[in-house]
Amino acid sequence: MQLPVKAHYATLAMLALADKHESREVLPARVIACEQGIPSQFLGQILQQLRAAGLIASTRGANGGFYLEQPPAAITLSEVVHAVCPPSSSLAVEGASPLSAVVLDVWEELKEQQQQLLQRLTLADLLARLDTSANVMFYI
């Protein structure tokens, strides 16, 4: 199952901020938008939702920008995704046929597994994957 584009963009923005967390550098929205290829107006909405969820904060002014409220290892992908895309309700349909009930059970199971993965992975985990993939050498 695919996550909405909004969740993808939110994760990209959070990873950009996570990458700057140790240096305590703030990132302006325009820099995040440009570097991550996120439409500026859409990013503005996403950043507001992430701030409302307590995941990021911002400073104003010429040197202002956004930063993480917690270390990357303390922020799960589940928190990021749910900040911008609240969990959907169950797919259960009253009076569904037995075949339909089986299919709906599979979708619910898939949704649960996806949620477990999102709860397990943190921003730090994704940054570590990036570091690992950047160190891969290709020889011919």
pLDDT tens for each residue of 96-116? 788 988 988 898 899 899 999
Q: Which residue has the tokens 């290892």?
A: 73
Q: What is the distance, to the nearest Å, from the Cα of residue 42 to the centroid of all Cα atoms in its chain?
A: 14
Average pLDDT, the chain: 90
* Residue 49 resides in a domain: yes
Domain presence at residue 140: no
Confidence of residue 137 (pLDDT cuts 50, 70, 90): low
Query: Can you tell me the distance from the alpha carbon of 70 to that of 93, in angstroms, rounded to the nearest whole number?
Result: 40
24-28, 63-67, 84-88, 107-111: segment of lowest average pLDDT: 84-88
pTM of the model: 0.84
Q: How far apart are CA 71 and CA 87, in angstroms?
A: 24
In a domain, 139, yes or no: no
3-state secondary structure of 30: helix
Q: How many structural domains does the chain have?
A: 1
Q: Which two tokens stand for residue 98?
A: 């037995």
CATH number at residue 94: 1.10.10.10
Residue 136 has pLDDT above 60, yes or no: no
**Domain limits for position 64:** 5-134
- CA torsion 67-68-69-75 (nearest 10°) is 170
